[in-house]
Amino acid sequence: MALFETIYGPYVPFGSRTLRLQSPQMKGTDVAVLQGVFDLLLQVMNPPLGPIGPPITITGSYDSDTAQAVRNIQSYFGLAVDGVAGQEVYWVYGQGVGGHVAYGGPIYGSRQLSQGMSGGDVKILQNRLNLFRYASFVGGPADGVFGPKTAAAVAAFQGDAVANGDTGLTIDSIVGSATFDASWIYTFAGGRGILPGRNGFDVVFVQRLLQGLGYYAGRLDGYYGPVSQAAVRAFQTAAGIAVDGQVGPQTFYQLGLRNVVAAPLPFPLFPLAFAPSECCVPLENTGVPPISASIGSFFIAQSSSGSQLSATGISMLAPSAYNPAFTTYAFRLTIPGQAPVVQTMALADPTIGLWAGGIVSPTLRLPNTTTIAVFPQGGGLTGADVLAGNLTSCPGPSI
C-alpha cells in the first residue's frame, strides 16, 4: 500500500482528525480511505430510499464532492448534517474515536502493532482478519493479544494484498501505516461490536456476508434493525454460539470460518489507488483439460501514476494438476507490435484455489486489440492458456 500513500499522501491515520472543507483543502490517506470505502460500499448497498448520492472521485483531497458525500451519509444515518467528518461519521465507518473508542483502546491505527503487544486495537485487528480466510490462522475469537497466530494471519493478509497488485507493502507481520491502509480499504467490519441502534457501513458488510450464507434476505441498507438481528440470531444458532443478536468477536470469527476468501477480494473489489478510471475484462475458460477454471476477471485502471493491471478472483486447480513441473500461474498481455507482458500470479486462497496478481506500469498503454490469457508455468515450461479474454470487451477508450 506504499503506492496508496505515494498517490494520496501524506499518511494520516484514519479517524485521527476532523475533516472539513477548507482552503487549502485537507489532504491525506485518511481522506482517500473515507472516499474509497464510501464508493465501494455504495456499489453493494440497496438502501430503501435509493442511493446515498453518486460515487465520488478518490483524490485524497477533502473537496466539495466529498463534503457533499459526507452530508449524504449524515442524512442517511440520522446524524447532524454539516459536511464535516468527525467522530460520528467515523463511527458509521466502524472506526471508534473520541467518545466511541472501542474495546478500551488504544484507537485503531494510532500505533504500530507487532507480536507481543496487546490492547483494544489488537482486538480490532483480529476481528477484521477473522472475517476472512485468516480466521483459520488466528484460531479463535479476538482476544487482544498479538501472538504468533495473529502474526501469521497478518502476514497472510499482507501477502494477499501484494498478490492483488498493491506495491511497497512488506510481508513482515508488522502492522504499520501501509497495513493499516490496506485493512481499512479491504476489511469493512470488526472495529466495533454491532448492536441494535448501531448503523453504518460495517453493518452493510455483515449483511452481505449473511446474505451469501443464506441467512439474510433483506436490503443491504446498513441499518441494524429487526431483520438483520434475526439473521444474526439464526446464524449464531447454526454456529452453536451464544444467541444474543449482537455481532462481536465470537460472531466475527464464526463468520470468517465460513467466508474463506482473501480480504482484497470479498466482492471482489479493485485496489482503490486506481479507482478513477477502470474497466473489467471477463476471462473465459478455454476448455483446456484437465484444468478446472472458473470464469475470472481482469481489472485495468489508469491513474496519474500509470496503469494498474490485476487478474483477480480466478479459482483454478493447482497448476501441477496439469503437469507436475508447473508450480504457479501467470497472466500474459499480447499487444500488437510489442513483446508480450507476463506477470506471475500468487495463490491468494489455497482452500478454493483462488489466484491473483497484478502490476503497475507508469508507461504501459493497452490498445483495444490487446488479448489477455492465464496459463500455468514452472520449471522453464509454459502450459496452454486456461483462461482468455480480449480488451475489446472493456467499454470506453483504450487505456
C-alpha–C-alpha distance, residues 346 and 350, integer Å: 10
CB 311 within 8 A of CB 331: yes
Q: Are 211 and 235 in contact (CB under 8 A)?
A: no
Q: Which residue has the cell 488504544?
A: 106
Q: Using a pLDDT cut of 70, give the percent of the chain over it.
A: 83
The radius of gyration of the chain from alpha carbons, rounded to an integer in Å, stands at 21
The rounded distance, in Å, linking the Cα atoms of 199 and 245 is 14
Q: What is the DSSP letter of 142?
A: -
Q: The C-alpha cell of 56 is what?
A: 465520488
| Percentage of the residues of the chain whose pLDDT score is greater than 90 | 54
Average pLDDT, the chain: 85
Q: Provide the residue ranges of all domains of the chain, joining segments of one domain with +.
A: 2-258, 277-393
Amino acid at 89: V
pLDDT digits over 289-304, tens only? Answer: 655 555 566 767 655 4
Do the Cβ atoms of 267 and 299 come closer than 8 Å? no
Lowest mean per-residue pLDDT among 101-110, 120-129, 334-343, 350-359: 350-359
- pLDDT tens per residue, range 23-53: 999 999 999 999 989 988 887 888 876 778 8
Burial grade of 49 (CB within 10 A; 0-12, 13-18, 19 or more): exposed
Is pLDDT at 392 greater than 90 in this prediction? no
- Report for 58-62, 138-142, 325-329: range of highest mean pLDDT: 138-142
Q: Render pLDDT for 190-240 as a digit per residue (tens, 0 to 9).
A: 999 999 999 999 999 999 999 989 999 999 999 999 999 999 999 999 999
No. of helices (H) and no. of strands (E), the chain: 11, 10
Please tell me whether the peptide bond between 276 and the residue prior to it is cis, using omega within 30 degrees of 0.
no
With contact defined as beta carbons under 8 Å apart, do 235 and 254 qualify? yes
Residue 174: per-residue pLDDT: 96
The pLDDT value recorded for residue 262 is: 79
The span from the CA of 312 to the CA of 319, in Å, is 16
CA distances, 327 to each of 97, 322, 357, 380 (Å): 46, 10, 15, 10
In the chain, alpha helices (H) = 2-8, 29-44, 64-76, 87-92, 120-130, 135-138, 148-163, 177-186, 201-212, 226-239, 249-258
**Topology given in CATH for the domain delimited by 277-393:** Immunoglobulin-like (2.60.40)
Higher pLDDT, 269 or 104: 104
